[in-house]
Structure 1
């Protein structure tokens, strides 16, 4: 998954415009009446979903303005300021996406489209569960704050099928409400903790999609190969650039913003949070405005692909066979994750350790159900943590306990 977590500080009306402008009119080919609906969920501290609702555009805007969709009551009053950066963040967003070749495959085959939708929804569900279990807030006066777990976390997902430029681009806007229920009242989510968790949740989303057995099976039925180590469809990967009109623009933007950051911070290296922000800025800069697309269906995309040399039955590209979780050596995964942690810093958090465990598991080319994958990553992370000692403890690990080798 590309991109990091960003905070949205605008109004509900602005958030609605933002979502509506993030796709081309080609997306309306898939939508009922051209209306995108937001799927709202409330999760408890144990990660289980308590309640779900489908929000129409008006109800979604009200949620962004801190109205609880369940009770219809206010969850607080957002702080206003002349400087937008000082206004209350309404939600934190990350985008659950997949390699471009998967979006191309979904545009070519309806069955793949359904399977990819299911895989991305599974990724969203796993991320939602993990955040509900690990999100926190701070309670008490500034000089004596306590860190407490979130009792109820609200999230919204909005699925899009296309990019603004009219290309196939399956992605889900995953929005984490910054109003949470904890210690008996509505409070603010600790977004600083969330930013420290973003590497772990990005790795989790990538792993669920790349390892998805049903998606791999449907692709195989159509003569296509899902590479479990990368998540790419091997036969369609050469056409990624053809169906990525914004790719070159984003690369130029990122190079420019990286150079500007280096000039402003001599002798410094950008950390993961800085990198996430630079990448998000590169994607946001000079985005094409919403405009009518001539590619209102898969027919137009297929024509573009055929012009680039695509044939309906491309030769199979063989990749290494996927492995099962039972074939992995959990001790090796844990050890490799610790090596990567140590190579990156002298101390690290549990979230960083989990991120490396998840990424290494994906790189091994594993294929597994989301629940089994979750359990394996948890066990490997715990095993790796046993080889460390805590250098600094934060209650419930808001920063993730900081670890070093024993």
Structure 2
């Protein structure tokens, strides 16, 4: 089978959740199928040879409205609408597909910068298309549906936006969501028909060689340091607690300075800044638990799956798909709904109980969230939409 994987950011150069899924899928499928990965050309460092064929198309300029120096909010908004519509990109994709010959199926993972025109181009070439919704793009013009700021404006526009999306996605043969939560949301809002939907959880490498039975008495929290991720609220709750633990915060973002200021008054808390993948994997494996205090609905976050694969339990909220990955008390500790109540939850974290959960975390990762399981599930979807070719 000739498989085209579409990910706007090159999976070999970028490490976002959608890109990591696309990379694992491309490598796994490559053992039995001919795989090509299509992405936007960019200036990220070239990682060298990869086990798949690479196909790139030029970016629209600018790639993101924030990169348009001196552009007004209106000008940026117009660019964003054009990007979503994707007319110019559709023509570029059409030319690229014409040069590479026919594909049996396309697996689309991220259309940021490509727009919905990618679906038109694939349909024009008769390519069966499976789209994986890693975010709320089918339901909302704001990917994470934040309740503050522009999120309120976007909420008012959602009915019209969803009607437009339904017209632009008629050519899709299947929509995959990594969580039941997002699948239900898309069906309930009429964006996807139930018989067009499939649930395929994300997969992560589970052959981890740094699993520890006796971790350090330390919590690790990493990722984007932004309001909707709940990181500042958790750091503040931890600082107000008397927990006999350390808290390491890795990552960058708009809240970095505020978090750094708190670390200067509490020796238990350390802001590590950017940490590379290898160092971060060791950090997570050495930790008593990974903290995921999201304040917005998560889908199937890689940070949770990677933590489980390392045998590290998760201290988490129950937003979105987090609740289905981590049943209460099984793979970590569930935080209360409101941050004002997190202090008590932190105070009562039990080291022995968390350490006892580590074997179960590993087992769940291997059984439910391994890369081979994910690849097999996608292969099933591909055969279904192509009639078994």
TM-score past 0.5 threshold: no
TM range (shorter): under 0.3
Task: Give the alignment's TM-score, normalised by structure 2.
Answer: 0.26
Task: Give the alignment's TM-score, normalised by structure 1.
Answer: 0.25
* Structure of higher RCO (CA pairs closer than 8 Å, 6+ residues apart): 1
